[in-house]
Amino acid sequence: MDTTAPDALLAAALAAREHAYAPYSHFAVGAALIDEQGRIHAGCNVENAAYPQGLCAEAVALGALVAAGGTRISAVLVAADSAQPVTPCGGCRQKLREFAAGDVPVWSANLQGIAARHTLAELLPASFGPDHLGPR
């Protein structure tokens, strides 16, 4: 398996993870994305006392990418302190899919380094996307 994520992407996700606001789950997550210009955008999970209002690290990173003018995602990396590789939750898979092709790599890392690699299509097969809506 190719588990060679760009070092800078891993570093960005781990750095963002340090700022995670996770007082309820105590499960800190960092995510980093590469956009179509090669820029890296990172995010961490931001929990809330009203639990369902919490944000995943991937969603925060995606917001940073869009706010910076990014339009496409070419790579994703999620980092957490977990023996079992952490992949994006179902909702985040769909959020990422809006801006990423099926062959985009989604790396999972823990504090020891890269632990798994999937493509977005492997994580979200037969997905629904903008094309289904047709021209409008």
In single-letter form, the type of residue at position 12 comes to A
CB nearer to ligand THU: give 35 or 58.
58
12 binds ligand THU (CB under 6 A): no
User: Rg of the chain's alpha carbons, rounded to an integer?
Assistant: 14
Of the residues 18, 58, 98, 122, which is catalytic? 58
Cα angle 121-123-124, degrees, rounded to a multiple of 5 = 60
- Provide, rounded to whole angstroms, the least separation between the CB of residue 134 and ligand THU: 31
The answer to whether 13 touches 29, Cβ cutoff 8 Å, is no
Nearest alpha-carbon partner for 33 in 88, 73, 80, 93: 73
Of 11-19, 51-59, 109-117, 121-129: span binding ligand THU (CB under 6 A): 51-59
- Provide, rounded to whole angstroms, the least separation between the CB of residue 22 and ligand THU: 5
CB nearer to ligand THU: give 43 or 131.
43
> Using CA atoms, how far apart are residues 109 and 69, in angstroms rounded to an integer?
26
47 binds ligand THU (CB under 6 A): yes
* Cβ neighbour number for residue 107 with a 10 Å cutoff: 26
Q: Footprint of ligand THU on this chain (CB under 6 A)?
A: 22, 25, 27, 29, 45, 47, 54, 56-58, 78, 86, 88-89, 92
